[in-house]
Amino acid sequence: MELDNLYQEVILDHYKRPQNKKLATTFDAQVHHVNPSCGDEIDLNLVIKNEIVTSITWDGVGCSISQASVSILTDLLVGKSITEAYAIYDNFVALMQSKGAIKGDESVLEDAIALAGVSKYPARIKCALLGWMAFKDASVQAQAKSELG
């Protein structure tokens, strides 16, 4: 896989020094997602308070793309409102599904832009999306729970 050198550095940095990789003991939702085609696995715990994503913690094993992508996601989405987080999520999914056709908006995606090149490698897109799918799943569960009060 040929990714831009600077982007590769961002990915490796998150892989070697993952952010928020320690499952919190309290959470509103906990999910376990796997990507069988590569062997990637993650657990993700989420806390949403007053429509704000206040904590995303995780643990996992797998390839550098999958693990770096979750780390980047936690950096990016903690502190955002659910609406903002979903906008970023939609932006990232669109980028991954673009087959390299769009470059992505760095002002929205920040470090996640480093994964742009992955969209040209269909086998790896699921790796990059694993954490994002887990976040979406957990957020839906957390919101359903808060509506029940």
Residue ranges binding Zn ion (CB under 5 A): 38, 40, 63, 66, 127
| Residue 118, token pair as written in the block | 């992955």
With respect to Zn ion, which residue has the nearer C-beta, 68 or 76?
A: 68
Alpha-carbon span 21 to 42, nearest angstrom: 10
CB of 38 to Zn ion, least distance (A): 3
With respect to Zn ion, which residue has the nearer C-beta, 28 or 40?
A: 40
With respect to Zn ion, which residue has the nearer C-beta, 88 or 115?
A: 115
CB-based contacts of 49: which residues, under 8 Å, 6+ apart? Answer: none
With respect to Zn ion, which residue has the nearer C-beta, 19 or 66?
A: 66
End-to-end CA distance of the chain, in Å? 47
CB of 28 to Zn ion, least distance (A): 27
CB of 47 to Zn ion, least distance (A): 26
Cα 33 from chain centroid (whole Å):
12
CB of 52 to Zn ion, least distance (A): 30
Cα 132 from chain centroid (whole Å):
4
